[in-house]
């Protein structure tokens, strides 16, 4: 039943910190060089991407992601507001969203799960831990877990 | 009071003139030798007048300030004036040939001398036994003593000389005058002692009066061979002067009081009229009786527009109904929520503007009417300053949080990329460069610790308290789980008292208290394995929790320092850490309404003791008060 290899996985990452963007890139590609990582730097751009607005008008340039990785503290639109907009949109609400953040504040954790985040991870200051956490996330969401995108793919094939 | 105080001043003038006129007439008649009996009548009459006036005024003076001495002087002179009056009547009867009424003026003088001597002597005696002057039971005892002495004197007169003219053949045949002389000398000495101690009210006058009276007795003894001898007139005159001196003394004393009262009133008026506090008095119905100038400025009214108005005009609408309840419901016997309590309210100016004020109300009875005195202070400036400070504190806390939070990001990046650099370079990186990178990584790690601790302190200070019953044992168990590797590594034992209490507080914050104290106990160990004990006991309705370790202890001089942020007593090489732990602990305990102290000595371990409210008690949280509570009060 492993269909992960049949299609290139798309991961959308939103982080305003370029250094962190690069870290994510290294971590993901280290685990699976075939992952199609799309990087934006705030919540507004996430919504533009998902709703095919502005530079992402052409759906081919902005394939629907299998996983969204969001930072919480971002300019313009932060992670929590972005999550709320995703959950309120009837097309997007099923998207798996994982928070990757520096905040270890209990309030942020509580709020995030109330808003419907799929997982909350704190960016570890230890790079080895960071890499292994990323590997776990990617392996679980792109390999183990069943996702709507996966279902659609299967339905298409059956048809 | 003012009309009563005017009286003595006029009395001085009238009495001085009256006594003066009487004395001049009497003296001129005595000296001329003509109509001796008439002259004697004048002198006797003036004596009656002077002693009666003195007695009344001294009693009045006693009423004003309750000085015992005036009470005795007053009674002595009143009694003496009655006897002098009798003497005057007897003298008149004698002129008409009736000798049965003749009674020596010696009786009056002896009685006066004995009464005064007993009084002043008794007061001196009280001093010896260190009894406070002015107690009514002491006064009563003295009064009884002098009534008894007076009665004895009368008894002597009635026994020996009833109805008989007294004729003397030798000075030694004047036993009464001798007794009076002796008593007056005692009076002079007694009052002199009081004078020397700084009582210079009536005392100097009494000393001179007693000397004159004694002199009169001496003249009588030495020169009177009969009822009307050579010394007779002189003795009478001297005696009269003595009475006059006392009268003047009492008048002077009354005048002093009058002046003091007046100055006092002016003094108080100056305070009330110049203070910046608005002061007004209202009656039991809330009608304004008096207003000071500060109240005029504060509320924008003129005094005459406020007097007689209900005080409610000075309040915004929403306080008016409540105010009626307060005034109507006031009972002097039940403790009031309003009287004697500082309250922050709002005032309403004439132009309708509202401003914050602090109000203090007291109450008093004036002429048997209940009045309320309100002291008001405009706190507009204070309130805005307070708001500014609160905002600044909030900004600072926000700043602290943001800084500690945002500083983490670049530090993490720094550490991560150092590691990546080494990975990327692989074996090509020279040893020296590897060492350089290690320094960068260490510095970043150290700064991360500092920033982390700042964040911890910021949370301990700002995070809202979630108050719930918290079991201390559970907190310690959590900490044991969190620290299991450190505990295993150091072979530490953590022992809890048999029954650890449940307190009211924030579970997370209280756990971090034990986290800090226990990890300190493990960290600051000597060569023995750490042994940490957590105990509790009930003290005055709250719990006293103790965390005891067998570590290196703290020197005397540092015991207060350790609770400050980033205070470290040891080099980083010996013991790691930033020194924020105990500052966090202190902050958390204080926010729970408790306090913390430490018992410790070098190499004897440390015992941290802190208090926490019992969970069933009404806990007092310092940051839990709201303005709403104050309003409700």
Distance CA A123, CA A71 (A): 10
Contact assessment for residue A81 and residue A23, using Cβ atoms and an 8 Å cutoff: no
Instruction: Tell whether the model's pLDDT for residue B184 goes beyond 90.
Output: yes
Q: Tell me if B80 sits within 8 A of B51, measured CB to CB.
A: yes
Query: Quick one: which H or E segment has residue B151?
Result: helix B136-160
3-state secondary structure of B574: coil
Q: How many residues does chain B have?
A: 633
Out of B408, B415, B417, the one facing A102 most closely (by C-beta) is B408
B413 to A102: CB separation less than 8 angstroms, yes or no: no
Residues of chain A found within 8 Å of residue B411, distances taken between Cβ atoms: 125
Q: What is the length of chain A?
A: 159
Q: Is B464 on the interface with A (CB under 8 A)?
A: no
- Chain A residue whose CA is closest to B445: A125
Test mutation, A18, A19, A103, A128, chain B, max B CBs within 10 A? A19
- Report how far residue B57's alpha carbon sits from residue B59's, in angstroms, rounded to the nearest whole number: 5
- Residues A150 and A141: beta-carbon distance below 8 Å: no
Cβ neighbours of B435 (radius 10 Å): 9
Q: Are B402 and A8 in contact (CB under 8 A)?
A: no
Ordered alpha helix ranges (H), B524-626: 581-591
pLDDT above 50 (res B628): no
Find the CB nearest B415 among A103, A106, A125. A125
Do the chains contact at A125 and B417, CB–CB below 8 Å? no
* Residue B250 pLDDT class (50, 70, 90 cuts): very high
Distance in Å, alpha carbon of B416 to nearest chain A alpha carbon: 5
**Phi/psi of residue B333, each to 5°?**
-85, -30
Q: What mean pLDDT comes out for the span A75-83?
A: 87
- Mean pLDDT, to the nearest integer, of B317-332? 70
Name the average pLDDT for chain B: 79
* pLDDT for residue B582: 85
Phi, psi for residue B484 in degrees, rounded to 5: -55, -35
Give B402: exposed, middle or buried? Use CB within 10 Å, 0-12, 13-18, 19+.
Answer: exposed
Q: Is residue B572 pLDDT above 60, yes or no?
A: no
Give Cα B98 to chain centroid, integer Å.
67
Reported as a single tens digit per residue, the pLDDT across B517-556 is 898 888 888 888 889 999 888 887 788 888 998 888 887 7
Sign of CA dihedral B86, B88, B89, B91: positive
Out of A97-111, B258-272, B617-631, least confident range: B617-631
Best mutation target among A102, A125, A132 (most B Cβ atoms within 10 Å) is: A125
Class of domain B2-267: mainly alpha
Q: Beta B531-539 vs B502-505: how paired, if at all?
A: unpaired
Contact residues for A82 (Cβ-Cβ < 8 A; gap 6+)? A14, A43, A46, A47, A70, A74
Distances (CA, A) of B28 to A140, B34, B39, B48, B220: 136, 9, 8, 19, 20
In chain A, the largest separation of any two C-alpha atoms, in whole Å, equals 47
Residue B5 confidence (pLDDT): 47
Tokens of A114: 């109330």
Query: How many angstroms separate the CA atoms of A135 and A144, rounded?
Result: 12
Q: Cβ contact (<8 Å) for B420 and A125?
A: no
The domain defined by B276-378 folds into Beta-Lactamase (3.30.450)
C-alpha to C-alpha distance for B387 and B382, rounded to whole angstroms: 8
> Is A125 in Cβ contact with B419 (below 8 Å)?
no
Which residue in the block uniquely carries the two structure tokens 């003012």?
B2
Q: How far apart are CA B268 and CA B516, in angstroms?
A: 59
* The three-state (H, E, C) secondary structure of B15-78, written as one string: HHHHHHHHHHHHHHHHHHCCCHHHHHHHHHHHHHHHHHHHHHHHHHHHHHHCCHHHHHHHHHHH
Q: Which of A151-155, B252-256, B305-309 has the lowest mean pLDDT?
A: A151-155
> What whole-number distance in Å separates Cα of residue B287 and Cα of residue B347?
17
B448/A125 touch (CB, cutoff 8 Å), yes or no: yes
Q: What is the pLDDT of residue B626?
A: 33
> Do B146 and B154 touch, CB atoms closer than 8 A?
no
Cβ distance of B417 and A130 shorter than 8 Å? no
Backbone angles phi, psi at A114, to 5 degrees: -65, -35
- What is residue B469's three-state secondary structure? strand
User: Shortest Cα distance from B463 to chain A (angstroms)?
Assistant: 10
Of A26, A106, A123, the CB nearest to B412: A123
Asked if CATH classification 3.10.20.30 holds for the domain at B466-633, the reply, yes or no, is: no
Strand order in the sheet with B343-348: B288-291, B278-283, B369-378, B354-366, B343-348
3 state SS of B373: strand
Q: Return the pLDDT at B188.
A: 94
Among A152-156, B187-191, B258-262, B281-285, which is the least confidently predicted range?
Answer: A152-156
Per-residue pLDDT tens digits for B57-73: 999 998 888 888 898 89
The DSSP H or E segment spanning B386 is: helix B380-425
- Return phi, psi of residue B179, to 5°: -60, -45
Interface A-B: count of C-beta contacts within 8 A: 30
What is the Cα–Cα distance from B461 to B455, expressed in whole angstroms? 10
List strands edge to edge, sheet with B493-496: B493-496, B531-539, B542-548, B606-613, B596-600
Q: Residue A37 pairs with which residues in a beta bridge?
A: A11
Residue A19 is nearest to which of B408, B417, B448, comparing CB atoms? B417
Query: What's this model's pTM, rounded to 2 decimal places?
Result: 0.47
- A99 and A120 in contact (C-beta within 8 Å)? yes
Spatial distance between the Cα atoms of B298 and B282, rounded to a whole number of angstroms: 17
Q: Pairing mode, if any, of strands A36-40 and A10-14?
A: parallel
**In terms of Cα–Cα distance, which of B539, B536, B467, B548 is closest to B501?**
B536
| Closest-CA distance of chain B to residue A16, Å | 11
Helical segments of chain A, H only? 18-31, 43-50, 79-88, 106-115, 127-138, 148-158
CB < 8 Å to A17, chain B: 409, 413
Q: Do A17 and B409 touch (CB under 8 A)?
A: yes
pLDDT at position B13 over 90 = no
| Residue B209 pLDDT | 92
Q: Which residues in chain B touch residue A123, judged by CB atoms under 8 angstroms apart? A: 412
- Are residues A102 and B409, on separate chains, in Cβ contact within 8 Å? yes
DSSP element (H, E) containing B156: helix B136-160
Question: What mean pLDDT do residues B487-496 have?
Answer: 87
Nearest CA in chain A to B409: A102
> Which of B419, B438, B483 shows the shortest CA–CA distance to A125?
B419
Q: Which B positions 418-457 lie with beta carbon below 8 A of chain A?
A: 419-420, 448
Cα distance between residue B8 and residue B121, in whole Å: 29
Three-state secondary structure call for residue A51: coil
pLDDT tens for each residue of B125-176: 888 877 776 677 677 777 787 778 777 766 766 555 433 444 455 555 677 7
Give contacts of A103 with chain B, Cβ < 8 Å. 405
Q: Residue B91 above 80 pLDDT?
A: no
Nearest residue in chain A measured CA to CA from B404: A103
CB < 8 Å to B402, chain A:
none
Domain definitions of chain B by residue range: 2-267, 276-378, 380-462, 466-633
What stretches of B113-217 adopt beta strand conformation (E)?
A: none
Strand order in the sheet with A119-122: A36-40, A10-14, A67-70, A97-101, A119-122
Query: Which residues does chain B have within 8 Å of residue A15's beta carbon, measured at their own beta carbons?
Result: none
In Å, how far is A78's CA from the nearest CA of chain B?
15
Q: So what's the pLDDT on residue A69?
A: 92
DSSP 8-state code for residue B311 = G
Question: In which band, very low, low, confident or very high, does the pLDDT at B622 lie, cut at 50, 70 and 90?
Answer: very low
Contacts of A130 in chain B (CB under 8 A): 416
**A125:B411 CB<8 A:** yes
Q: Which are the contacts of B136, defined by CB distance < 8 A and separation ≥ 6?
A: none
A127·B419 Cβ contact <8 A = yes
Give me the residues paired with residue B539 across strands. Answer: B542
- B409 interfacial to chain A (CB closer than 8 Å): yes
- A101: nearest CA partner in chain B: B409
What distance in Å separates the CA atoms of residue B90 and residue B108, rounded to the nearest whole number? Answer: 13
Once rounded to an integer, what is the mean pLDDT over residues B69-86? 87
By three-state DSSP, how is residue A100 classified?
Answer: strand
Kindly identify which residue of chain A lies nearest to residue B412, measuring between CA atoms.
A125
Q: Which pLDDT value is given to residue A97?
A: 92
Q: How far apart are alpha carbons B138 and A148 in whole angstroms?
A: 105
**DSSP class per residue in B86-115:** HHHHHHHHHHTT--TT---THHHHHHHHHH
Distance CA B547, CA B597 (A): 11
Q: What is the pLDDT of residue A44?
A: 87
> Of A152-156, B341-345, B408-412, which one has max mean pLDDT?
B408-412
Query: What is the sign of the dihedral through the CA atoms of B112, B117, B122 and B127?
Result: positive
Q: What pLDDT, on a 0 to 100 scale, did the predictor assign at position B229?
A: 54
Query: Which residues in chain B are contacts of A26 at CB distance < 8 A?
Result: 420
- Res. B477: pLDDT tops 80: yes
Q: Do A125 and B412 touch (CB under 8 A)?
A: yes
Two tokens at A136? 């776990």
Topology at the third CATH level for domain A8-158: Rossmann fold (3.40.50)
pLDDT of A149: 67
For chain A, domain boundaries: 8-158
């Amino acid at each position: 039943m492993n269909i992960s290899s049949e299609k290139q996985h798309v991961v959308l990452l939103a982080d305003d910190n370029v250094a962190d963007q690069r870290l994510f890139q290294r971590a993901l590609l280290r685990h699976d060089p075939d992952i199609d990582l799309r990087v934006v730097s705030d919540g507004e751009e996430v919504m533009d991407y998902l709703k095919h607005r502005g530079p992402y008008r052409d759906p081919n340039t902005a394939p629907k992601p299998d996983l969204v990785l969001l930072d919480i503290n971002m300019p313009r639109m932060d992670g929590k507001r972005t999550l709320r907009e995703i959950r309120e949109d009837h097309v997007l609400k099923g998207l798996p969203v994982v928070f990757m953040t520096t905040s270890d504040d209990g309030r942020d954790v509580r709020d995030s799960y109330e808003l419907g985040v799929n997982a909350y991870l704190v960016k570890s200051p230890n790079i080895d831990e960071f890499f292994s956490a990323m590997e776990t996330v990617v392996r679980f969401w792109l390999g183990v877990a069943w996702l709507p995108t996966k279902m659609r793919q299967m339905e298409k094939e059956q048809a | 009071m003012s009309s009563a105080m005017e009286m003595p001043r006029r009395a001085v003038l009238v009495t001085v003139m009256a006594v003066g006129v009487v004395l001049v007439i009497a003296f001129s008649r005595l000296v001329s030798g003509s109509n001796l009996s008439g002259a004697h009548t004048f002198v006797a009459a003036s004596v009656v007048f002077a002693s009666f006036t003195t007695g009344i005024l001294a009693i009045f003076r006693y009423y004003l300030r309750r000085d015992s001495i005036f009470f005795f002087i007053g009674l002595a002179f009143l009694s003496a004036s009655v006897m002098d009056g009798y003497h005057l009547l007897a003298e008149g009867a004698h002129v008409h040939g009736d000798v049965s009424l003749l009674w020596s003026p010696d009786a009056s003088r002896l009685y006066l001398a004995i009464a005064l001597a007993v009084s002043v002597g008794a007061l001196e005696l009280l001093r010896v036994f260190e009894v406070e002057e002015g107690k009514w039971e002491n006064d009563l005892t003295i009064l009884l003593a002098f009534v008894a002495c007076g009665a004895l004197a009368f008894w002597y007169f009635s026994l020996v000389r009833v109805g008989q003219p007294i004729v003397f053949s030798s000075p030694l045949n004047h036993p009464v005058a001798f007794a009076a002389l002796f008593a007056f000398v005692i009076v002079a000495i007694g009052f002199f002692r009081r004078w020397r101690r700084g009582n210079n009210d009536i005392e100097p006058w009494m000393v001179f009066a007693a000397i004159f009276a004694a002199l009169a007795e001496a003249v009588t003894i030495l020169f009177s061979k009969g009822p009307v001898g050579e010394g007779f007139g002189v003795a009478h005159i001297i005696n009269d002067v003595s009475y006059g001196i006392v009268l003047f003394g009492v008048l002077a004393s009354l005048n002093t009081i009058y002046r003091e009262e007046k100055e006092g009133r002016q003094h108080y008026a100056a305070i009330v009229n110049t203070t910046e506090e608005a002061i007004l008095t209202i009656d039991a119905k809330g009608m304004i009786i008096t207003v000071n100038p500060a109240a005029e400025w504060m509320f924008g009214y003129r005094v005459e527009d406020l007097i007689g108005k209900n005080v409610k005009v000075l309040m915004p609408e929403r306080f008016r109904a409540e105010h009626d309840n307060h005034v109507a419901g006031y009972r002097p016997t039940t403790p009031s929520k309003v009287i004697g309590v500082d309250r922050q309210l709002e005032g309403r100016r004439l132009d309708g503007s509202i401003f914050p004020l602090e109000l203090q109300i007291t109450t008093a009875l004036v002429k048997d009417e209940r009045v309320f005195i309100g002291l008001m202070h405009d706190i507009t400036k204070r309130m805005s300053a307070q708001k500014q400070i609160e905002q600044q504190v909030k900004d600072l806390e926000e700043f602290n949080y943001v800084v500690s939070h945002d500083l983490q990001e670049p530090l993490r990046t720094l550490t991560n990329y150092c590691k990546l650099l080494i990975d990327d370079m692989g074996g090509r990186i020279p040893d020296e460069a590897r060492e350089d990178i290690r320094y960068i990584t260490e510095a970043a790690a150290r700064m991360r610790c500092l920033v982390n601790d700042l964040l911890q302190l910021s949370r301990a200070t700002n995070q809202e308290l979630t108050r719930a019953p918290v079991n201390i044992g559970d907190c310690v168990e959590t900490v044991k789980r969190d620290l299991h590797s450190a505990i295993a590594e150091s072979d530490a034992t953590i022992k809890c008292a048999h029954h650890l209490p449940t307190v009211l507080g924030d579970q997370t914050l209280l756990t971090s208290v034990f986290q800090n104290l226990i990890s300190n106990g493990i960290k600051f160990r000597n060569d023995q394995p750490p042994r940490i004990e957590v105990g509790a006991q009930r003290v005055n309705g709250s719990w006293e929790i103790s965390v005891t370790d067998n570590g290196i202890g703290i020197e005397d001089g540092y015991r207060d320092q350790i609770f400050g942020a980033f205070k470290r007593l040891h080099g980083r090489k010996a013991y790691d850490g930033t020194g924020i732990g105990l500052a966090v602990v202190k902050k958390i305990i204080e926010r729970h309404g408790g306090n913390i102290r430490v018992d410790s000595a070098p190499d004897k371990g440390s015992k941290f003791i802190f208090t926490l409210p019992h969970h069933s008690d009404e806990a007092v949280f310092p940051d839990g008060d709201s303005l709403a509570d104050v309003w409700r009060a």
